[in-house]
Chains A and B, each alone.
Chain A
Amino acid sequence: MTFYETEIKRIRNICYSNNKQIETVIATRNYIDNNFETEINLDFLSLIHFTSKYHLLRLFKKYYGLTPRQYLMDKRIEKSKELLKEGMTVTQTCFSVGFESLGSFSTLFKTKTGKSPTKFQKEQLSRSQLS
């Protein structure tokens, strides 16, 4: 066994020994992945896992390094990039990935990608015509 494998094993025993917690955060992430376009309801999630909402938030952050909300926003922006590339309008994209206002979508999109959704889409579409 290499040094790396020994270390991984050691760290796993320290950091990832609580299977119940891991199951809970993985289920939470899957739920977000499958429902990112809806209004995500953490109360419901914490109920089915018999934890408090705040405990669930802390666990998620502990294992993924992001809060569920940060993760959700990343997911929505990632998905919106796909839809924009496919040629969906900015407004339609905004609502399909779960944002409630065009303003908040455009601002966040620009913060995350460095470009406005319109500019991103123009660049992507002209790129696909070139190739």
Chain B
Amino acid sequence: MRVTLISIPVQDQEKALKFYTEKLGFIKKRDTPLEGGNRWLTVISKEAQDGPELLLEPAPIHFEPSKVFQEALMEAGIPYTQFDVDNVDSEYDRLLKKGVEFSVKPTKMGTVKFAIFNDTCGNNIQIVEML
């Protein structure tokens, strides 16, 4: 067994694709039409293209518990997932300039530094740098 996919629930796939590619810098990998306007939509990291694909999944629109869960995480400030970066400070500056909103500024915690932004699709996302 291999881990090749992780999924993120998004409220709007097209908006998510724009945010994850244009703001964050991911690359679109697969975009397959499914029924009802839904898509099997994945993006990959530009720097690690052989890494897992990130599935932008429209679960909150179709499955109420997913929506409830997503909203509860958002409310509590809990990141849905996290991405590794080489430098949290420079990534924070880069994303701020692109209009990305952060709920937590770069913060040191032991052997990591992290920050949290809003992906505009219903999730808090954490970026982490290992110190």
Enumerate chain A residues within 8 angstroms of B85, measured Cβ to Cβ. none
Enumerate chain B residues within 8 angstroms of A64, measured Cβ to Cβ. 111, 130
How far is A12 from B116 in the complex, measured between Cα atoms in Å? 17
Enumerate chain B residues within 8 angstroms of A26, measured Cβ to Cβ. 111, 131
User: Looking at the complex, which one of B76, B104, B110, B131 makes contact with A15 (CB distance below 8 Å)?
Assistant: B110
Query: Is the Cβ of A8 less than 8 Å from the Cβ of B109?
Result: yes
B38 within 8 A of A: no
Interface residues on B, range: 10 to 19
Residues from 74 to 94 in B contacting A, C-beta threshold 8 Å: 75-79
How far is A42 from B131 in the complex, measured between Cα atoms in Å? 19
**Count, chain A residues at interface, CB 8 A:** 16
How far is A4 from B77 in the complex, measured between Cα atoms in Å? 5
A31 within 8 A of B: no
Query: Is the Cβ of B76 less than 8 Å from the Cβ of A114?
Result: no
Query: Is the Cβ of B78 less than 8 Å from the Cβ of A4?
Result: yes
CB distance from B58 to the nearest CB of A (A): 25
User: Looking at the complex, which one of A2, A29, A63 makes contact with B110 (CB distance below 8 Å)?
Assistant: A63
Query: Is the Cβ of B109 less than 8 Å from the Cβ of A12?
Result: yes
A22 within 8 A of B: yes
User: Looking at the complex, which one of B75, B77, B111 makes contact with A5 (CB distance below 8 Å)?
Assistant: B77
Enumerate chain A residues within 8 angstroms of B111, measured Cβ to Cβ. 16, 22, 25-26, 29, 63-64
Enumerate chain A residues within 8 angstroms of B130, measured Cβ to Cβ. 29, 64
CB distance from A88 to the nearest CB of B (A): 18
Excluding A3-B76, A8-B109, A16-B109, 14 further A-B contacts by CB distance (< 8 Å) are A2-B75, A2-B77, A3-B77, A4-B76, A4-B79, A4-B116, A4-B124, A5-B104, A12-B109, A15-B110, A29-B111, A63-B110, A63-B111, A64-B111
